[in-house]
Chain A
Amino acid sequence: MAQRRMISRNLGSSRKFHAVNARCGKLGDFAQALFPLIVVNADDFGRLEGDAFTVKHKVFPVSPRTEEDFETVLQAMNAVGLIRFYEVGGDRYLEIVNFDREQPGLHKRTKSDYPDPPPTREDFGKFPEVPGNSQDFREIPGDSGNPGNFPDEPNLTEPNRTEQTRNGTAAEAAPSPEVLVEIYKAENKKLTQVLEFGPERRDKCKRRLAKDPKKFVDQFTRAVIKAQETPFLCGEGDRGWKADFDWFIANDRHVIRVLEGRYDSATRASPGGGAETVFDKIRKEREERNHGSDRVA
């Protein structure tokens, strides 16, 4: 578990953070002081024991507040969507909402210290059989009424809705990172195959989908199709370099460059861009220098 965590400067102006203060009345300030401590003490998946006793003694043992106060405050956090409670085997756990979005370096995490939350109805949408299908699957026709177990609020408490946009509005249908690999597998006939989807790739996909997921998914799909019609990207260039999944998700630029047709000429020697960039130039210089020193040696 990390010794330190990132707290966004936007926390002070967050609606939920304000709502928890309003909801707790006299305990409002305490609630706002407790939340960052919960973030700091959560594991790499943003999870922690959810009972007031453990939270008090693990997170804030020097607090003079009673266990009841802790319980009130935790319930308020759950209600406004800062955290989400879930139960496994009769024990209550909590999960911080949007934890993944705010914390860097999580792609190296492996296993949570706490059990996974049980899947909710919305989770079914995260396993699209057809690429990009997850958005349509969430809405069940004629099931718009609240059956009781699912909150009426538009899933702000849902932990997996981490791909919310920065302006605070919920991204109603943010696709999961797996969508990109599914698209790639479905469309790819000529390029390098993808066999595994590990945490590193997952993290990169998340980053690509963070800004405008719909737009990126669309551009990505078109780029994969177009890349297969581009000889250079299919390994027919001088060096036999081939575009692969990692290259597509490495940054936002590659996909756009494919669509712009900057790799259309088969005579290109490096995948850097249409014109030689500064980086290519420096790279070349160094390669030449290294070869020169080899010869001298």
Chain B
Amino acid sequence: MDLIAWLEDLAAAYRIEPSEKTTRRYLKSLERWRLAPEQWEQLSDRAVLRFPRFPCIAELYDIAGEVQREAEIRANSEYLGNLLQDWDRDRQTRCT
């Protein structure tokens, strides 16, 4: 994921050009986060919807956590759904 482009887009959404120091500080933090490309997209979407001003790194971090949790829940639900389906299938085959 090109984080410089991502941050540039986020800054453009707020029509600001952050200082070099701020940009480097943000990039340093963002590089440690392990998000999938679609999660980065969700992160910027939600940040723009939620904050009328350029969000601080802590606020972005909160949203990133939220996005990750949702992805985990989704993955768990899918996993449980599959288990349930398998279980149903097993039961049906045993009945027949």
Q: Which residues of A contact B (CB under 8 A)?
A: 3-4, 6, 104-105, 108, 250-253, 277-279, 281-283, 286
Q: Is the CB of A253 within 8 A of B77?
A: no
B9 at interface, CB cutoff 8 A? yes
Tell me how far the C-beta of B70 lies from the nearest C-beta in chain A, rounded to whole angstroms.
Answer: 6
Per-residue CB contact flags for chain B residues 1-38 toward chain A (1 = under 8 Å, else 0) read 00011011100110101111001100100000000001
Q: Which residues of B contact A (CB under 8 A)?
A: 4-5, 7-9, 12-13, 15, 17-20, 23-24, 27, 38, 41-42, 45-46, 49, 70, 73-74, 77
Q: Is the CB of A104 within 8 A of B27?
A: no
Tell me how far the C-beta of A273 lies from the nearest C-beta in chain B, rounded to whole angstroms.
Answer: 9
Chain B interface, DSSP helix/strand/loop, else mixed:
helix
Q: Is the CB of A3 within 8 A of B73?
A: yes
Tell me how far the C-beta of A105 lies from the nearest C-beta in chain B, rounded to whole angstroms.
Answer: 5
| Contacts A105-B45, A279-B8; A3 near B74 (Cβ below 8 A) | yes
Of the listed residues B8, B9, B15, B46, the one surrounded by the most CB atoms of chain A closer than 10 A to its CB is B8
Q: How many Cβ-Cβ contacts under 8 Å join chain A to chain B?
A: 45
Q: Is the CB of A278 within 8 A of B15?
A: no
**Cα distance, A267 to B8, chains bound together (Å):** 23
Q: Is the CB of A283 within 8 A of B70?
A: no
Tell me how far the C-beta of B20 lies from the nearest C-beta in chain A, rounded to whole angstroms.
Answer: 5
Can you list 30 A-B pairs with a CB-CB distance of less than 8 A?
A3-B73, A3-B77, A4-B70, A104-B42, A104-B46, A104-B49, A105-B38, A105-B41, A105-B45, A108-B38, A250-B9, A251-B9, A251-B13, A252-B12, A253-B12, A277-B17, A278-B17, A278-B18, A278-B19, A278-B23, A279-B4, A279-B5, A279-B7, A279-B23, A281-B20, A282-B4, A282-B20, A282-B23, A282-B27, A286-B4
With a CB–CB cut-off of 8 A, which chain B residues contact A3? 70, 73-74, 77
**Cα distance, A3 to B69, chains bound together (Å):** 11
**Cα distance, A76 to B4, chains bound together (Å):** 48
With a CB–CB cut-off of 8 A, which chain B residues contact A250? 9
**Cα distance, A282 to B8, chains bound together (Å):** 11
**Cα distance, A41 to B26, chains bound together (Å):** 36
With a CB–CB cut-off of 8 A, which chain B residues contact A4? 70
